[in-house]
Structure 1
Amino acid sequence: MSRTVSAGMARLTWVMGLVFAFGYAALVVVAADRLMLWLEGRGHVNWRRTGRKPLAGVPRVRLEVLLDDMPPSG
């Protein structure tokens, strides 16, 4: 009888560990989201509202041009 209770307690401990780990991970994600919203509201970050910057106006550089300026190795 003692062995059955011990195995049941081990299984319960393992399940509680998983529940705690997933709960802690969810808490961290929600807290980080709330922190980012608070910082955005105070004007410190604005990545959600503005989205990505348009890359059409950025000049393109090809890798060959960058490598032509390098001195030969060796």
Structure 2
Amino acid sequence: MEIVVVFLFIAIVLFSADRLLLLLESRGHVNWRRTGRRDLSAEPTANLDSLLEDPDRGPVRRP
């Protein structure tokens, strides 16, 4: 009988955690089940050279 109580408790904890994560997802805090992964190829990218250059003097030259 104790094993049934343990499994019931685990099921309640998992269900509660799922509902909490769905609530947080609806508010935009996490991605859980409803939203898929972002397509990273569509995201804007920045080249390392453009991050290291000084906008006033142009690219930084190092020996």
Hey, what does 2:3 align to over in structure 1? 18
Gaps of 5+ in 2: 42-63
After superposition, give the CA deviation of every residue in 1:52-74 in whole Å (9 maximum; x if it has no partner): 2346x3xxxxxxxxxxxxxxxxx
Structure 1 residues 1-48: Cα deviation after superposition (integer angstroms, max 9, x where no partner): xxxxxxxxxxxxxxx211111111101110111101111122111342
How far apart, in 2, do the equivalents of 1:23 and 1:49 lie? 26
Number of residues of Structure 1 aligned to a counterpart in Structure 2 = 42
Gaps of 5+ in 1: 1-15, 58-74
CA contact (8 A) 2:25 2:31 kept: yes
Coordinate RMSD, CA, aligned: 2.1
Tell me what 1:34 maps to: 19
Which one has more relative contact order, counting CA pairs under 8 Å at least 6 apart?
2
CA distance in 2, matches of 1:20, 1:47: 28
Q: How does 1:43-58 map to 2 (within 5 A)?
A: 43-54=28-39, 57=41
In 2, distance between residues paired with 1:45 and 1:51? Answer: 11
